Structure 1
Amino acid sequence: MRWLTTVVVLALAVALVGFGQPAPQEQQESSPQLYLYSGMVTVEGTPAPDGMPVVGKVGDYTSAVVTTTNGQYLQLKVLPGISYNGLPITLWAGDVQADQEGARYEQTGMFGIPVILALDLNFARLPTGFTPFETPTPAPTPTPTLPSGSITLPNIGDTAVPVLPWLAIVIGLGAISGGLVASHRVRKRP
């Protein structure tokens, strides 16, 4: 017992010393905050064509390009430096700014945890020089047919499935009851 008390006291002492140390200054101030945007994209109220470029801007910073697919953009990463703190995040498709503005860029101090935002965007027009490409129509997929003589599983309610005989139900209930009685007797033994 004395040995256990000594181990617990030492573990608490080590934990308190570790938690009492301040974090290095460069970790607290130099890590920029990542903002991740995703949402639907429309141009004049209709879903954006596939391949339309979308970027985020904060001051003179421009994010990497993501392109639209099925009228949406996914995981637009906006990661400017700390000097952009407090500036608005704007979203663009080429030379056209979205009607919606993103959040203000703020250092949250969340230790690298990204700020994830859902923001649907609408643009007044397509970007200059952008030509939507045609999405090829996929060829129809043939319906598979089962070869003759193959085995298939029955569906629920199929009359070909035999009904479970009452004898099997009675035997199953008897086995369960016997198990319960046996476990009850084992618990009562001194």
Structure 2
Amino acid sequence: MSVTRDEIREDKAAEPGGTTVSSGKVELVEILRKMILIREFDQLAIELRKARRIHGALHPYVGEEAVAVGACAALRPADRITSTHRGHGHCIAKGADINRMMAELFGRVDGYCKGKGGSMHIADFAIGMLGANGIVAGGMPIACGAALAAQLEDAGGVAACFFGDGATGEGEFHETLNI
């Protein structure tokens, strides 16, 4: 079966039997491009931190790029995410502007949080990035609340929460599961 780029872009490509093709070459190239962009962003941030041009904490996402990009590739633009203290990859995968992200790391007013949040607290509600969080498991109740709000508003959608293994021992994890 052959599939044109236009069919892939418009999500009209179908395999025999009517199943939509969702991982065409165009999407795979975009996934790879985002993974490389995340790696390059974080490597630059690391170098700038070592050169003492960026101040404050810096928690890069190097080596984990596929997790963020793969998960966000399955989400719709209106879907929401929360992140950990290693949120750069999640932000970029969801569509954040890397110039505004870098401005945030430099503490500039044109950053996402006007230079006050730094590396661990980047948020952009317009793209569904509800925020990276420096508190272990801190994004879980936020994602749960976003999912509950979407359900109550009958808006549909998904709220995804990225977290590390340490988060499963925190109260927020268990409390969120109970909702």
Structure number with higher relative contact order (C-alpha < 8 Å, ≥ 6 residues apart): 1
Question: Which structure is larger by alpha-carbon Rg, 1 or 2?
Answer: 1
TM range (shorter): under 0.3
* TM-score (normalised: structure 2): 0.22
Flag the structure with higher strand content: 1
Flag the structure with higher helix content: 2
